[in-house]
Amino acid sequence: MELNINGQRYTIADEPARPLLYVLRDELGLTGTKFGCGAGICGACTVHVNGKATRSCQTMVTTLADAQITTIEGLANGEQLHPVQQAFLELQVPQCGWCMSGQMMTAAALLAANPNPTYEEMIAAMRYNYCRCGTYARIGRAIMRAAELMKGQKV
Amino acid sequence: MKKDTRPQRWRMSRRGFLIGLGVVGGGLALGAVFGLPAARLMLADMFGDVIEIPSTMPREPDLWFTIRPDGHVLMTMPKVEMGQGVHTALAQIAAEELGVAWEQMQVVQSSSRGPIADGAGTSASYSVISLFPVLREAAATLREMIRAAGAEQLGIPLAQARVERGVVIDAERPERRITFGELVAQERDWQPPSEAVPLTPPERWQMIGQPLPRLDLPAKIRGSAVYGYDVRVDGMLYGAVARPPRLGAKLRRAAPGTARNRPGVVEVVIRDGFAGVVAESRLTAYAALNDLELDWELPPPFDLQDIEQRLVAQAGSGTVIQRQGDAPAMLRGGQVIEAAYRTPLAAHANLEPQAALVDVQPDRVRAWVSTQSPVQVARTLAQVLGRKPETVEVTPTYLGGGFGRKVTTTVATEAALLSAAVGRPVHVGWTRTEEFRYGYLRPPTYAAFRAALDSSGQIIALEQRHVSGNVLFDLFPAPLRWLFGSDFGGWRGARLVYAIPNLLVTAQTVELPLPTGPWRGLGLLANVFAVESFIDELATAAGIDPLDFRLRHLPENELGQRFRTALETVATMSGWREAPPPGRARGIACSIDAGTIAAHVAEVGLVDNRPRVYRVWAAVDPGVAINPDGLAAQTEGGIMMGLSAALLERITISDGRIEAGNFDRYPLLTIADAPEVFVQILRSGDQPFGGGEPPMGPIAAAVANALAALTGERRREWPLV
């Protein structure tokens, strides 16, 4: 079957049925999407499927034949970082960085759907992504900052 | 430095002494002269207040730095980057003395075979403390060599040449200049300076103390940073290892069963006590584990109660780790205040599970491992595979969290055994269930206190009996365990800083039926929770404000002054003297670890009868912060991790098995429960102390103290619900 990932088409084996995460990381070498729990709890494996934040460890590739998949490797527009990436860099959010792809993909999906989130809406979207290094305070600030950056870029 | 090549061997070699040998030899000698208990107390004094760590690392600059003709300085990093920002901090120290611009600095990770491979590993918040003098000297030496070469090239006396942003400049005619890159591009007989090199005085520091951006973040932002779980090479396979049904079970017999029939399975590897599968994909390898025929010898089952029952202070059996006056005598009769505190078994929950890629070839072994201890891993692999140490090279990757769980990295051994069997590179990456159940845990602690106050409310006597499972003892040879008597990792943070005329602290290490080991800060978080909760209880008994009570008991020395400044700063930041918002209360606590002092105030309330931490203020005195934003990040993160541990986390055991197999049974703190954190970094000198662990020390106690103030009820056990 074929998958559309970051605007490119990839041909993968139909069988066996397996979660997208393993195809991305172990078959296609797109290791920016991380394994954390394999149970859809921690959020480290979050990607976009048709623009929606999706746990790739819980999503079988067989369901993705016609889907547009975006991973962290496809979040930036070439050299131009996505506003969420810009803000995470500006506020020096990551520590170990392992959860960060999932954090940024979740945040980018939130801002695409709701460019002006309240702080409470931001928390509601981000509360299912673990960060063991405890960067939560900066994550929150960076997402609000990214929303500002996006406004600026539209003008 | 001749065009990226090494200059001649350095004549100078100023190696420090080996800390391990120094301690054993010195300790044994002390024991012979003073007797064992006194020797143990002296060792406790040494290890309890340790702030100067002798480093065995070489100071020859060519081992650390390569200057490229384009002017970039490539610095080799002996320490592992696990999110603590150590690569950036060490590069800042070097850039300061090199006299180059920040944009010129590039870093590369040393493998276990490099000339600055670091047997000490990356742990205990010692990286910056121990390497600060080494790096300054190495970098200044290189700068002086380049300055001399530049002066010669410009035809000016050495004194007339100054260095600025990677350029040697004629101080009298600043338009005459030559870059470091141009100088190293020339053929030249580089000479090490004959005299001791001058170090940049602190008042002229331009890099140290600046919040420079982390060098590892651009790659982490794009998802291109390579962690142990991410290493991919041509021809690689994936491995999985059979796990015991109960802790301590031994594999008696194993057979491949139907595993070899499963499509994608390459090999089944069975050797003494070990059974694993190598396959084309990770999912196949794990699925094939179910096809194996395994016969386990099960030890008797145990549960949490069996473990907690062992954590009792037995009179007379602890090692004395702190003593003043005669506390036991002072606590006979009269009014004695008593309390005991417990902390549970806990997981590290590093979000990147254990991971290693190992390629065992006939002539050499290469490994890429998510480890805090690459040199130790290389040693282990050489031993297990029966290879010469010089043929084994381990390169540490970025770590998706370490927190002490990657000090010992058995996953590399597993990948090596599997790779040796198939002659191809094999990657093993643990599942979350393996990460919870088959590694090691933070040991539980128990601390029992007794104290007496005089009529003015001063503590006249205090006794603490501290009990912990192993933290570092499993890594120590038996003679060293005997010498120390108790595990100093277990009691880290249990000694009191306060001036108490009669003080006795004993520490006891108990064997538990499951592996325990280092967790961020070792005993720090648990032990400061106990000590600083009890101090708060004494303040309440004395009827004195908890801040004032602490200030009154600080010693009249430099350390006491540093604590005073930190406590007063955090009090001002938090508005300690003003009433908290309605329905909330504040608690205060402080600690010292690896030389760094932290003072926290936590503001808590109750939501649905559960603690809710709204705001935390932290004043942190690391001597001098190399990168204040980095230290602030470590403080914020340490506070969140400490809150998670104190409010939510507890490993339970049933039938000899850890019950949590994923985060559904072991939830972590999320952004929804994260407090606002306000950090102020203080400066008390020119020597940097530890950064990765110390700032988290007081958080559990600050929250417990706030909850007691809020409810009038003291919670002496985690989780603090």
User: pLDDT (tens digit, 9 = 90+) per residue, B79-105?
Assistant: 999 999 999 999 999 999 999 999 999
B603-615 pLDDT, tens per residue? 999 999 999 999 9
Find the mean pLDDT for residues B185-207: 91
**CATH architecture entry for A2-74:** Roll (3.10)
Q: What is the dihedral sign for C-alpha B222, B227, B230, B231?
A: positive
Which chain B residues contact residue A94 at CB under 8 A? Answer: 83, 214, 217, 220-221
Over 60: is that where the pLDDT of B108 sits? Answer: yes
Nearest to B531 by CA among B591, B452, B621: B591
Which chain A residues contact residue B675 at CB under 8 A? Answer: 137
For chain A, the domains span 2-74, 83-154
The least confident of A92-101, B53-62, B537-546, B652-661 is B53-62
Find the mean pLDDT for residues B583-594: 98
pLDDT of B30: 53
Which chain B residues contact residue A80 at CB under 8 A? Answer: none
Domain shared by B283 and B328, yes or no: no
pLDDT of B29: 53
Which of B395, B429, B463 terminates a domain? The answer is B429
Position B23 confidence tier, pLDDT thresholds 50, 70, 90: very low
Q: Do A130 and B221 make contact, defined as CB atoms within 8 angstroms?
A: no
Angle (nearest 5°) at CA B456 between B452 and B461? 25
Closest by Cβ to A132, choosing from B227, B668, B677 = B668
Quote the distance between the C-alpha of residue B271 and its chain's center.
34
Structural domain boundaries enclosing B101: 55-196
Over 50: is that where the pLDDT of B20 sits? Answer: no
Nearest to A98 by CA among B219, B684, B184: B219
Position B314 confidence tier, pLDDT thresholds 50, 70, 90: confident
Question: Where does residue B582 rank: exposed (0-12), middle (13-18), buried (19+ CB within 10 A)?
Answer: exposed
For tokens 């005329």, the residue is B501
Residues in chain B: 721
Over 70: is that where the pLDDT of A115 sits? Answer: yes
Q: Do A96 and B82 make contact, defined as CB atoms within 8 angstroms?
A: yes
Over 90: is that where the pLDDT of B61 sits? Answer: yes
Which of B380, B400, B429 terminates a domain? The answer is B429
The answer to whether B68 and B341 have CB atoms below 8 angstroms apart is no
Domain shared by B420 and B448, yes or no: no
Find the mean pLDDT for residues B637-662: 97
Which of B177, B196, B215 terminates a domain? The answer is B196
The answer to whether residue B421 is domain-embedded is yes
Nearest Cα residue in chain A from B353: A36
Q: What is the dihedral sign for C-alpha B72, B76, B77, B82?
A: positive
Domain shared by B365 and B338, yes or no: no
Find the mean pLDDT for residues B701-717: 98
Q: Do B672 and A89 make contact, defined as CB atoms within 8 angstroms?
A: no
Angle (nearest 5°) at CA B562 between B559 and B564? 110
Between CA B75 and CA B107 the distance in angstroms is 5
Domain shared by B623 and B523, yes or no: yes
pLDDT of B341: 98
pLDDT of B34: 67
Nearest to B429 by CA among B134, B228, B176: B228
Position B7 confidence tier, pLDDT thresholds 50, 70, 90: very low
Q: Which of the following CATH numbers is that of domain A83-154: 1.10.150.120, 1.10.3720.10, 3.40.50.150, 3.60.20.10?
A: 1.10.150.120
Distance from CA of B495 to the nearest CA of A (A): 27
Which chain B residues contact residue A132 at CB under 8 A? Answer: 349-351, 401, 403, 641, 668
Report percent pLDDT > 70 for chain B. 94
How many CB atoms lie under 10 A from the CB of residue A82?
23
Over 60: is that where the pLDDT of B11 sits? Answer: no
pLDDT of B333: 84
CATH of the domain at B389: 3.30.365.10
Find the mean pLDDT for residues B261-288: 97
Domain shared by B367 and B252, yes or no: yes
Position B5 confidence tier, pLDDT thresholds 50, 70, 90: very low
Nearest Cα residue in chain A from B674: A136
Over 50: is that where the pLDDT of B392 sits? Answer: yes
Which chain B residues contact residue A56 at CB under 8 A? Answer: none
The answer to whether B359 and B425 have CB atoms below 8 angstroms apart is yes
Which chain B residues contact residue A76 at CB under 8 A? Answer: 222
Interface test with A, best of B671, B693, B696, B699 (most A CBs within 10 A): B671
Domain shared by B272 and B330, yes or no: no
Q: Average model confidence (pLDDT) for chain B?
A: 93
The least confident of B60-64, B157-161, B423-427, B534-538 is B60-64
Distance from CA of B617 to the nearest CA of A (A): 13
pLDDT of B422: 98
Domain shared by B508 and B630, yes or no: yes
Domain shared by B452 and B412, yes or no: no
Find the mean pLDDT for residues B389-403: 98
Over 50: is that where the pLDDT of B40 sits? Answer: yes
Q: pTM higher than 0.90 for the full model?
A: yes
The answer to whether residue B46 is domain-embedded is no
B680's tokens = 């102020």
Domain shared by B489 and B621, yes or no: yes
One-letter amino acid for residue B370 of the chain: S
Find the mean pLDDT for residues B266-274: 96
The answer to whether B119 and B379 have CB atoms below 8 angstroms apart is no
Question: Where does residue B76 rank: exposed (0-12), middle (13-18), buried (19+ CB within 10 A)?
Answer: middle
Q: Do B283 and A32 make contact, defined as CB atoms within 8 angstroms?
A: no
Q: Do B664 and A72 make contact, defined as CB atoms within 8 angstroms?
A: no
The answer to whether residue B7 is domain-embedded is no
pLDDT of A155: 45
Question: Which of the 8 DSSP states describes residue B351?
Answer: S
Find the mean pLDDT for residues B119-146: 94
pLDDT of B244: 97
Position B17 confidence tier, pLDDT thresholds 50, 70, 90: very low
pLDDT of A45: 98
Which chain A residues contact residue B401 at CB under 8 A? Answer: 96, 98, 132-133
The answer to whether A20 and A40 have CB atoms below 8 angstroms apart is no
How many domains, chain B? 3
Domain shared by B553 and B664, yes or no: yes
A40-79 pLDDT, tens per residue? 999 999 999 999 999 999 999 999 999 999 999 999 999 9
The answer to whether residue B215 is domain-embedded is no
Domain shared by B292 and B320, yes or no: no
Domain shared by B644 and B700, yes or no: yes
Size of interface A-B (CB pairs under 8 A): 167
Residues in chain A: 155
Q: Residue B172: CA atoms inside 13 Å, Cβ hemisphere, count?
A: 8
Please list, residue by residue across A44-64, b when 16 or more beta carbons sit within 10 angstroms of its beta carbon and e when fewer do: bbbbbbeeebbbbbebebeeb
